[in-house]
A and B are shown apart, each in its own frame.
Chain A
């Protein structure tokens, strides 16, 4: 309990600082109806008192940014070797509705900033969707010159405004800088879409069939994950076989941003 209180108070104290400072943010809705928040950030330290580290976290292997965790009465906290806070997950079912209060978009962004402390070097953009349970699911990414660095988080806030689960991924900034990537070196979203459609037509559509994308509509977002920069293209399609029978499928595809290599084609169930 003592550890929990310290952490919660630490969070609240830092949140208070942010409220006093007041940050300007811009809000807009993108084509998918997501609430998008973009702002410049100022790093702030947090979680200096993290309590006793329990044991090494080997659960996630290489896919995970951190390797140690500690816990209090409410959450498991996962941290990396630099004490950056990368995940908080609930321990107990009966504690729903308690824990870290993140009842506004600003507080969620502050939570992101606090966890990455002095690591951040770019701008932050947040994408928010609602689950069926009306949880707010924030995907928060850091960008430099409009390209994601790979530092990002997924933070889920329950309907009452309390943290339900969070995961934080820290970029390999050295590798990111070595890429020396700017938008001039990146293929366009339309080029990525064309590449994906050709790939699907060749490998996913029945022989003598074809695919139609209604109104040619698609969503595209330039993303970075595990050091790879790629276009994520999402669109609905109707696929016809040679008899004219059709079925609808949604695709989520990834295309490497400079070479145009198709990394993944995921189709809906």
Chain B
């Protein structure tokens, strides 16, 4: 996709926040809940996510990353409102039984579509059907929520 990649594991809240503020495309794989992302040193609340004007796209591969907490905004809505061109998350729980199936396969399909120049929305819907054709189920990925639908990231 023309990007150089950096991979970080056991990411802290500060590292995740600074990554969102400095990178173009960020993919986050961890546990989550409404308005909350799990980091190695605790929970990153959506309210603590800073301004991200240079961020083109963030994909939060966590449960409930698109679910709003009571009286607040979801993680991916916050990302979009804080300046990102687009973001993608899930309102419900997502699951997998290995490192390559379920929601992880959805992710592979999503970026496959995105690399072909499709928008994040079209990549999201196509990825869901590709997951279905592969596995016969959705693994919770049918709760996808895309902000900035017409954005392309290739």
Contact = CB atoms under 8 A, between A and B. Distances in A.
B78 interface: no
A89 B31 CA distance: 31
Interface stretch (A4-12, A111-119, A163-171, A205-213): A163-171
B103 to A, nearest CB: 7
A132 B133 contact: no
A267 B90 contact: no
Nearest to B113: A89
A198 interface: no
A97 to B, nearest CB: 11
Contacts of A226: 136
Q: Name, among B61, B136, B142, the residue most crowded by chain A CB atoms within 10 Å (CB to CB).
A: B136
Nearest to B88: A132
A29 interface: no
Contacts of A137: 128, 138, 142
B66 A132 contact: yes
Interface of A: 60, 63-65, 87, 89-90, 93-94, 96, 129, 131-133, 135, 137, 139, 152, 154, 156, 158, 164-167, 169, 223, 225-226, 232, 250-252, 264-269
29 contacts: A63-B133, A64-B133, A87-B129, A89-B122, A93-B119, A93-B121, A96-B122, A133-B121, A133-B144, A137-B138, A154-B132, A154-B133, A156-B125, A158-B125, A165-B125, A167-B132, A223-B136, A232-B137, A250-B63, A252-B95, A252-B102, A252-B139, A266-B97, A268-B63, A268-B95, A269-B31, A269-B32, A269-B62, A269-B95
Interface of B: 29-32, 61-63, 66, 89-91, 93-97, 101-103, 118-119, 121-122, 125-126, 128-130, 132-140, 142-146, 149-150, 152
